């Protein structure tokens, strides 16, 4: 017992880069002592806000800030039905903020609380892409010039650049792509890029769950000569059983997990060693408390971590990722989509990127803050999400 109690729990919504970010601020009975957590489910911001302020706040106010495990279980079990994305993000906002507070109380960075550092900097992978092969190569060279050694390469958006698709009459609006065209172009891209830059740089690729089971097996096999660091989300969570066939046929390393909500989605993949990297979105599974347990679980089976780190994670969430990365014995790589200058102004103290490595600052807690007045200048917008309306050439909806 610390004697310090939760006084208030508030949601801060902001979109400095045009993507809705959800941050939770937990205030305590100690003046000036508060914590920040990431609860970013960018496409359901009002639902997460309601869970935090209408349900979690009344549950938490007056409770001791020290008891993170107790409070996590209390939040997790409170609605009876559990493990959904909205609840998990709301819980994560509070959970990460409580770790931030605990670090401030201890006068230690969060990675010190978690056992201390296993490394001095966190290797990251960056995103290179282009509409054509030359553009992709230019994008790769820009990162290589900055000493980045892990680069994810994409030809166009997820699923590739769809060209001259033969669609039936009356098709609906959507993001169209052709699985065969995409697979063929992905191979062309790797062939071209490896012929230009050689094998001294680690390359990654995100399939973004666009392929059927057998096509995923085929792509992973066909990519073998290009020696990927990993192939990301080659299958949707619903089709994870196909990984057994894939593993029996290819040694292309596999990373999966940004859509996972529930431990039952990952435990069989890990215990059967069907994946090489776990890459959950840590707010989507409920924050630092479950992510830390997951990393330790993976360590026992030789699976490495590669937490999800795109633009729809807040800088507070990126900071939490980096603290976990600093300490995990089985850290693999960290996705780093980049944080803009305007986001750095809204969130002072973001981890620093230098020569392909990211470093947390040495302040107690997560070392990150939010300028609430500035955050208000970038309001969120509630709108219909369009990029998830992904369609096959005949108009059938596919997982995004
Ligand atoms: Mg991805």
Which whole number is the average pLDDT over 91-95?
99
Facing residues of 119 across strands? Answer: none
Confidence of residue 270 (pLDDT cuts 50, 70, 90): very high
Q: Parallel, antiparallel, or unpaired for β 357-359 and 122-130?
A: antiparallel
User: Could you say which of 127, 150, 205, 208 is catalytic?
Assistant: 208
Tell me the C-alpha distance between 111 and 320, whole Å.
Answer: 9
Classify each residue of 292-320 as buried b or exposed e, where b means 16 or more C-beta atoms within 10 Å of its C-beta.
bebbebbbeeebbbbbbbbbbbbbbbbbb
309 alpha carbon to ligand 1 midpoint, in Å?
A: 9
pTM (two decimals):
0.97
80 is catalytic: no
Share of the chain above pLDDT 70, in %: 100
Active site residue 127: no
Instruction: Say how many Å lie between the CA of residue 208 and the centre of ligand 1.
Output: 6
Q: Which CATH number fits domain 113-364: 3.65.10.10, 3.20.20.120, 1.10.3720.10, 3.10.20.30?
A: 3.20.20.120
CB contact at 8 A, 366 and 96: yes
DSSP structural state of residue 210: -
pLDDT(108) > 80: yes
- The reported pLDDT for the residue numbered 162 is 81
313 CA to middle of ligand 1, Å? Answer: 12
Q: How confident is the model at residue 164 (pLDDT cuts 50, 70, 90)?
A: confident
* Tokens of residue 368, six digits: 């990150």
Residue 280 has pLDDT above 80, yes or no: yes
Q: Encoding tokens for residue 138?
A: 């230019």
Question: What confidence tens digit (pLDDT) does each residue in 112-127 have?
Answer: 999 999 999 999 999 9
Say how far apart CA 69 and CA 82 lie, in whole Å. 16
Whether pLDDT at 1 is above 80: no
Domain boundaries of the chain, sorted by first residue:
113-364
DSSP for 228-285?
-SEEE--S-GGGGGGHHHHHHH----EEE-TT--SHHHHHHHHHTT--SEE---TTTT
Question: Exactly one of 158, 176, 177, 357 is catalytic; which is it?
Answer: 158
Region 362-369: mean pLDDT is 97
Ligand 1 centre and the CA of 347: distance in Å?
24
Q: What is the mean pLDDT of the chain?
A: 97
Give percent above pLDDT 90 in the chain: 98
CB-based contacts of 70: which residues, under 8 Å, 6+ apart? none
């Amino acid at each position: 017992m610390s004697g310090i109690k939760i006084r208030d729990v508030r949601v801060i919504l902001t979109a400095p880069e045009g993507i809705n970010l959800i941050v939770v601020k937990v205030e305590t009975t100690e003046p000036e002592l508060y914590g920040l957590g990431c609860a970013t489910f960018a496409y359901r911001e009002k639902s997460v806000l309601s869970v935090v302020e209408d349900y979690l706040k009344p549950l938490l106010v007056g409770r001791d800030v020290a008891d993170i495990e107790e409070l996590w279980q209390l939040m997790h079990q409170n609605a009876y039905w559990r493990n959904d994305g909205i609840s998990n993000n709301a819980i994560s906002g509070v959970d990460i903020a409580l770790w931030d507070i605990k670090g401030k109380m201890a006068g230690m960075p969060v990675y010190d609380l978690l056992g201390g550092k296993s490394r001095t900097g966190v290797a990251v992978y960056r995103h290179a892409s282009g509409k054509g092969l030359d553009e992709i190569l230019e994008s790769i060279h820009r990162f290589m010039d900055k000493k980045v050694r892990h680069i994810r390469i994409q030809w166009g958006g997820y699923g590739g650049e769809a060209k001259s698709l033969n669609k039936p009459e009356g098709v609906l609006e959507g993001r169209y792509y052709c699985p065969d065209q995409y697979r063929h172009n992905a191979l062309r891209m790797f062939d071209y890029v490896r012929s230009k830059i050689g094998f001294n740089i680690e390359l990654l690729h995100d399939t973004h769950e666009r392929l059927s089971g057998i096509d995923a097996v085929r792509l992973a096999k066909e990519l073998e000569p290009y020696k990927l660091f990993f192939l990301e989300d080659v299958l949707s969570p619903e089709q994870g059983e196909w990984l057994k066939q894939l593993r029996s046929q290819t040694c292309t390393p596999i990373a999966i997990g940004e859509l996972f909500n529930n431990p039952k989605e990952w435990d069989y993949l890990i215990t059967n060693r069907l994946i090489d990297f776990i890459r959950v979105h840590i707010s989507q599974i409920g924050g630092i408390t479950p992510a830390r347990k997951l990393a330790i679980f993976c360590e026992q089976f030789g699976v490495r971590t590669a937490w999800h780190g795109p633009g729809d994670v807040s800088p507070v969430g990126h900071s939490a990722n980096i603290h976990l990365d600093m300490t995990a014995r089985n850290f693999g790589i960290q996705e780093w989509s980049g944080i803009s200058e305007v986001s750095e102004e809204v969130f002072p103290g973001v981890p620093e990127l230098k020569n392909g490595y990211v470093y947390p600052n040495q302040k107690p807690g997560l070392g990150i803050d939010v300028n609430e007045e500035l955050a208000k200048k970038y309001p969120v917008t509630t709108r219909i999400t369009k990029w998830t309306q992904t369609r096959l050439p005949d108009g059938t909806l596919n997982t995004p």
